[in-house]
């Protein structure tokens, strides 16, 4: 049954209301400012348009859904198929419920995480403050269980809305997923069709709080980000997951890799788990540096660093 802020079912076919681009340079749409071209790049008008657009695609069409392009590396050979850009498009942000214990808000997948944190704080709801420290959108945060400073996205999720390759809009519960550290996978029991699906939005259950206290916490979190992360240079956030009982940054620094460069890509001297684009890095440079760091840490410590960033696309240079 649909509720406020919720759209379900298969959308009726209509003329596309979004914007289609061809041979779009993805370096314009990723926080690393590097990467090749997308064959097709679609900006949907809203969720209904997104769903109807997916209905029109061939079943075997590769689809890549992106938000702010953080936590993402697109190889220099570019992307076959269609990129769907949802940032600022799936942008519904609503306060649905309020009671003595707290409230429920809905945020579309294209809403910036920091905006959700501020929205909740303004309404005296606590528990979403940490989202201010995540440089991405709700869709990406749901897909990877993004977190920072001790909190994780799925700890506040009540349910989610998804859209699949066939254009069906569905609601799923947290128990339908296997949720771990920077990992969210649909349980096999929940898969009833052989289709990909993407998060369209999330319902977040939050506790009663205090606006002033939440704003102060957000301010402190942002100050910690500024102090510890290289925000003045293009980057994709943390490159590697923290191994159990340790920190990726500590291991990388212990291997004397701070400041290590390949082409225009550099392990940040400010935070070793960040790789920055110093100005002219290619995606090939960045990926090569990721592999170098993994190899060195494995050889010197015996610990395997697992990538947190997603790497997609074809190797090699791609022209427009």
Q: What structural domains does the chain harbor?
A: 9-85 (3.30.43.10), 93-228 (3.30.465.10), 248-312 (3.90.78.10)
The residue written with tokens 């989610």 in the block is: 160
The residue written with tokens 């995606």 in the block is: 283
> HSE-up of 262 (CA within 13 Å, CB side)?
14
Beta strand 125-126 pairing with 197-208:
antiparallel
Instruction: Report how far residue 199's alpha carbon sits from residue 38's, in angstroms, rounded to the nearest whole number.
Output: 21
Instruction: Report how far residue 107's alpha carbon sits from residue 123's, in angstroms, rounded to the nearest whole number.
Output: 14
Q: What confidence tens digit (pLDDT) does each residue in 225-271 have?
A: 999 999 999 999 999 999 999 999 999 999 999 999 999 999 999 99
> Using N-to-C axis directions, what is the helix angle for 113-122 and 211-228, rounded to 10°?
150
Measured over the CA atoms of residue 69, residue 230, residue 108 and residue 141, the dihedral's sign is positive
| Active-site position among 27, 31, 238, 268 | 238
Instruction: Report how far residue 243's alpha carbon sits from residue 273's, in angstroms, rounded to the nearest whole number.
Output: 12
| Active-site position among 24, 129, 182, 197 | 182
Task: Identify whether 238 is a catalytic site residue.
Answer: yes
Can you give the pLDDT at residue 6? 54
Locate all alpha helices (DSSP H) within the chain, ordered by sequence: 47-56, 113-122, 138-144, 211-228, 248-254, 283-301
Can you give the pLDDT at residue 233? 97
Residue 293: closest CA among 275, 319, 278: 275
Q: What confidence tens digit (pLDDT) does each residue in 35-48 have?
A: 999 999 999 999 99
Q: Are 6 and 287 in contact (CB under 8 A)?
A: no
Chain-centre distance of CA 182, in angstroms? 11
Can you give the pLDDT at residue 320? 38
189: tokens are 């029991």
Instruction: Report how far residue 80's alpha carbon sits from residue 315's, in angstroms, rounded to the nearest whole number.
Output: 12
Would the pTM of this model clear 0.75, i.e. be above it? yes
Which portions of the chain are predicted below pLDDT 50?
A: 1-5, 192-194, 318-320
Can you give the pLDDT at residue 269? 98
Can you give the pLDDT at residue 2? 40
Instruction: Report how far residue 241's alpha carbon sits from residue 305's, in angstroms, rounded to the nearest whole number.
Output: 7
Can you give the pLDDT at residue 155? 97
> HSE-up of 223 (CA within 13 Å, CB side)?
6
Please report, for the chain, how many H helices and E strands are present, in that order: 6, 20
Instruction: Report how far residue 164's alpha carbon sits from residue 155's, in angstroms, rounded to the nearest whole number.
Output: 24
Torsion-angle region of residue 127: left (phi > 0), alpha (psi -120 to 50) or beta? left
CB count in 10 Å sphere of residue 236: 25
Task: Identify whether 308 is a catalytic site residue.
Answer: yes
Task: Identify whether 158 is a catalytic site residue.
Answer: no
Residue 47: closest CA among 113, 96, 92, 2: 92
Q: Are 120 and 111 in contact (CB under 8 A)?
A: no
Can you give the pLDDT at residue 217? 96
Can you give the pLDDT at residue 150? 86
């Amino acid at each position: 049954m649909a509720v406020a802020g919720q759209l379900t079912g298969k959308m009726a076919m209509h003329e596309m209301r979004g914007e289609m681009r061809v041979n779009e340079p993805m370096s314009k749409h990723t926080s690393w400012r590097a990467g090749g071209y997308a064959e097709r790049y679609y900006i949907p008008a809203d969720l209904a348009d997104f769903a109807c657009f997916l209905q029109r695609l061939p079943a075997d069409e590769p689809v890549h859904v992106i938000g702010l392009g953080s936590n993402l590396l697109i190889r220099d050979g570019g992307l076959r198929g269609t990129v769907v850009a949802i940032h600022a498009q799936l942008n519904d942000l609503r306060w649905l419920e309020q009671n003595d214990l707290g409230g429920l808000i809905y945020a579309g997948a294209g809403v910036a995480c920091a905006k959700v944190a501020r929205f909740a704080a303004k309404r005296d709801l606590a528990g979403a403050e940490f989202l201010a420290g995540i440089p991405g959108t709700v869709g990406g945060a749901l897909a990877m269980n993004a977190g920072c400073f001790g909190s994780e996205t799925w700890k506040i999720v009540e349910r989610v809305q998804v859209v699949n390759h066939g254009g069906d809009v569905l609601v799923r519960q947290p128990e339908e997923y296997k949720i771990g550290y920077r990992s969210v996978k649909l349980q096999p029991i929940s898969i009833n069709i052989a289709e990909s699906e993407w998060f369209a939005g999330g319902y977040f259950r939050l506790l009663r709080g205090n606006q002033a206290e939440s704003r102060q916490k957000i301010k402190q979190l942002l100050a910690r980000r500024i102090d510890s992360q290289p925000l003045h240079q293009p980057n994709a956030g943390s490159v590697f997951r923290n191994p159990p009982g340790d920190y990726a940054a500590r291991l990388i620094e212990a291997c004397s890799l701070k400041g290590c460069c390949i082409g225009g890509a550099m392990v940040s001297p400010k935070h070793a788990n960040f790789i920055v684009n110093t100005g002219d890095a290619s995606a090939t440079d960045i990926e090569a540096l990721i592999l170098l760091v993994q190899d060195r840490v494995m050889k010197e410590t015996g610990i395997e660093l697992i990538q947190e960033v997603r790497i997609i696309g074809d190797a090699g240079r791609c022209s427009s």
